[in-house]
Amino acid sequence: MIKTILELIIYIYTYFIKYLEDQTLMSMLSACDDGQRIKQNGKAYVYFRKLVILRREMRFIRVEIFIYTMRLIMLTGNLKLIGHKYLDPVFVSMSGLCQAYAVVFKAMKSKKNFLKLDVEDLKDKIQHSKTSIVPKPQAP
């Protein structure tokens, strides 16, 4: 029971930290916005990619929070803890079913590793491409 409560607190705190990162990335992205398309070798591209990866992580954290909340409800009902009188047995069973579906969903949509891209990596890539360009000889 204590493990479930601690895991729930940790995931809520992690989600809050990720939410703050999301807000800072959105502000950096809006500062880069100059009304044009996002180019692959620009700062806005890097920030947008980080934002997509961060929001994916936040979705998985929300699923984890849901799973641990359902586990907490089931433990409260089955261990007859404080407040178990207010939990209907059907509700406890349905929370177990929802928790099982969420675990299957999480397993099916498991975290895939994305290539992390920073602004420094982008600068190195641009410098490397400038030095590796060899002009083609022109035909007479």
> What whole-number distance in Å separates Cα of residue 23 and Cα of residue 42?
20
CA 32 to chain centroid: 22
Residue 5, phi then psi, degrees to nearest 5: -65, -45
At 134 the pLDDT is 46
How distant, in Å, are the alpha carbons of 23, 52, 100, 103 from that of 96? 34, 31, 6, 11
Q: Is the pTM of this model over 0.85?
A: no
Residue 118, phi then psi, degrees to nearest 5: -115, 170
Q: In this structure, how many other beta carbons lie within 10 angstroms of the beta carbon of residue 110? A: 8
List per-residue pLDDT tens for the chain, 140 residues long: 788 889 999 999 999 999 999 999 888 888 776 666 666 667 777 888 888 889 988 999 999 999 999 998 888 887 777 877 888 889 888 999 999 999 888 888 776 665 666 666 666 665 655 554 444 555 55
